[in-house]
Structure 1
């Protein structure tokens, strides 16, 4: 098993998608990329901790490759909006890949370069690609959030449409 750490806005959305992929296990919401040790959700949401909301997952590269995980990452959020995804605004919602190895770094940079050359988006890609340093798990109430709170308004109106779109695009990769 290998690890990957991605931030693409609200971790409830990101977790809900990645946990549905074949070969992915142990998807955990948390915080990374900041300066506060053991931050709380409140500290991260304030923007003062410097952390991004991220998910960290374990995956079996025999079943799903890092390239395939990058494809899901890039296609399930807008990498051109600085510190924002939809109505979620702040550095904690930035688009970021925290790489765990030189191989992950090279693959992430290569994928980003191909996307930039394709001109898919009218604005430049602002996704940060940084070395992984530390991951702080989010509080337990954030675990499996969408699956356990699908009727909650944020989940029903924001997360659910993203998950449905994801399921259509990546149907062949789903559990």
Structure 2
């Protein structure tokens, strides 16, 4: 099957297996931030943006991405570095394994909500699993990042 997409701002055309999931395709194209954790759409490690909406690439058929814009953490390095500083300042960055998917969701949330409540933040990020933290540091980092982004506008 022939796939055409815009990957991290660049056009991409490639052959792929008809039964391939987006995660495997992205890793074949050197997007190593996209990680396999559970393969059941429960951990959030594989989160990417498809047409600016977060999706779980481990269960997203590649054929559905045909003709769409796909963004991984590799395509959002400046934004990720900016938010990562807030995570580090709050002691919320530990092993880092969950960070790419978590950051992708936070960046998507920033574009979707102007002033989300704690409940909206937690609901939006409910599919992101982290085995190292209690999520309190992450929540503090998100709130400070949102305040910073709001001040930029």
Structure 1-normalised TM-score?
0.26
Higher relative contact order (CA 8 A, sep 6+): 1
- TM-score of the pair, normalised by structure 2: 0.28
Higher strand proportion (structure 1 or 2):
1
